[in-house]
Amino acid sequence: MAAETTSSRPRRRRRRSAAVTIHDVAARAGVSVATVSRVLNRNAPVRPETLQHVQEVARRLRYVPNTAARALSIRRSHTIGVVLPDVHGEFFSEVIRGIDVAARKAGFHILVSGSHSDADEMLAVLETMRGRVDGLLVMAPDVSMAALAEEIPADLPLVLLNASSDAHHTVTVDNHGGALTMTRHLASLGHTRIGFIKGPAHNADARERLRGFRQAMREIGVRDRTLECKGDFTEESGCEAAKTLLGLDPRPTAIFAANDAMAIGALSALSDAGVGCPDQMAMAGFDDIRVGRYVTPSLTTIHVDVDELGRRAFQLVFDAIENSAEQDARAECVPTSLVIRNSTRPRAARSRKGGEP
């Protein structure tokens, strides 16, 4: 009888190894399933030696949590929704980075979307996120929260960034204090005719920066509103506003733009007009975006710790998730600081210092 060829033999099916379960981890570690759950979910204290032992066993067994089942059982997705006016630009990318770093340390992920400062778009974004996130971080300085209140479930933790609210946790930047400090700095250099490029009138940050500028100008006895020009936080608007300010008679000796993007646009207008900065016109901005350090001259600005803004916002929403009991609304404010660079330095100081601080 001919030997049976390999090809004619019935193939044995390879048995798939069963997925490791939480029960397997508990059995191997010699602890209860409840203890393993506490270790993996980090929702109750566990002795350090037990924590380390269970984590090591789970690694050896290559245990992978069933995230879908876990979310159903504990009604958690371990995801935070982040809604910003835009996701383009250095400021917003730094906000996202600050939130993401803090979230990952806590075992959370983030779901990010832009609203384009449009109430209808924000409603659509919130509807998409409904049931998929454990909490929301919303930056909406251009949108009235009253229009959104009915669309956000009352039991969903919500933190507002750069917005005011008596009903929700908020994290804001000290826009008023920063603008006050910058205007006082320009005044200390001898400037009294200081032009100001405003942000959008409906934007809460812009309004606070304008308020700080006006307060400082009142302190030096100047109430000339012709020194204020409209802007919309873009480079183009800063350039156009600077052209308007250059056309005044007498024209300002310094310009303070409500954000760095507009200040950079204004620097372009000065260059095109042959106006030297800072010898003929000092220039200052707000936010301290990185490119401001590399333009010529380097830009004096108000530094905003955007990472800290994101970190604080996440911590507030995380605390609200972990403590579901009703809490009083908390309001936190991220401080700002003055960064002096070449665009406002007197000539003598620039030649003596020779560059950046």
Structure-block tokens of residue 348: 């003598």
**Does 1 have pLDDT greater than 60?**
no
Looking at the predicted structure, is the pLDDT value of residue 347 above 70?
Answer: no
What percent of the chain lies above the pLDDT cut of 90?
55
pLDDT digits (tens, 9 = 90+) for 163-218: 877 778 999 999 999 999 999 999 999 999 999 999 999 888 999 999 999 999 99
102-110: long-range contacts at Cβ-Cβ below 8 A with a sequence spacing of 24 or more? 102/310, 102/311, 102/314, 102/315, 102/318, 103/314, 106/314, 106/318, 107/42, 107/78, 108/78, 108/79, 108/80, 108/134, 108/314, 108/318, 109/78, 109/79, 109/80, 110/79, 110/80, 110/81, 110/82
Q: What percent of the chain has pLDDT over 70?
A: 84
Mean pLDDT of the chain: 85
Q: Which domains does the chain have, with CATH numbers?
A: 19-74 (1.10.260.40), 79-174+306-334 (3.40.50.2300), 175-304+338-353 (3.40.50.2300)
Tokens read off for 75:
């009604």
Higher pLDDT, 188 or 14: 188
CB distance 132 to 81 below 8 Å: yes
- For 53-74, write each residue's pLDDT tens digit: 998 998 888 886 655 445 444 4
The average pLDDT across 26-48 equals: 82
pLDDT of residue 125: 83
Q: What is the mean pLDDT of residues 96-100?
A: 94
Mean pLDDT of 133-138: 92
**CB 261 within 8 Å of CB 242:** no
CA 13 remoteness from chain centre: 53
pLDDT exceeds 70 at position 4: no
Most confident of 54-58, 73-77, 262-266, 304-308: 262-266
Return the residue matching tokens 């200081």: 194
Residues 6+ apart with CB under 8 A from 167: 149, 329
Angstrom distance (rounded) from CA 118 to CA 95: 19
Mean pLDDT of 244-253: 97
Residue 241 burial (CB count, 10 A): 26
Can you tell me the distance from the alpha carbon of 248 to that of 243, in angstroms, rounded to the nearest whole number? 9
Which pLDDT belongs to residue 129?
Answer: 85
58: tokens are 């789970």
Q: Determine the longest span between alpha carbons in the chain, in angstroms.
A: 115
More confidently predicted of 138 and 45: 138
> What distance, in Å, lies between the first and last C-alpha atoms of the chain?
94
Mean pLDDT of 119-143: 82
How many Å apart are CA 115 and CA 100, to the nearest integer?
Answer: 19
Per-residue pLDDT averaged across 310-320, rounded? 93
Residue spans of alpha helices (H) in the chain: 22-29, 33-41, 48-60, 67-74, 90-105, 119-129, 175-188, 204-219, 235-246, 260-273, 306-322, 347-353
Of how many residues is the chain composed? 357
Q: In the predicted model, is pLDDT for residue 82 greater than 90?
A: yes
The confidence band for 133, taking pLDDT boundaries of 50, 70 and 90, is: very high
3-class DSSP state of 212: helix
Q: Which of 133-147, 271-285, 326-340 has the highest mean pLDDT?
A: 271-285
Tens of pLDDT, residue by residue over 224-233, are 999 999 999 9
Residue 82, class by beta-carbon neighbours within 10 Å (0-12 exposed, 13-18 middle, 19+ buried)? Answer: buried
Q: Compute the distance between CA of residue 327 and CA of residue 61 in angstroms, rounded to an integer.
A: 41
Q: How many CB atoms lie within 10 A of CB 219?
A: 12
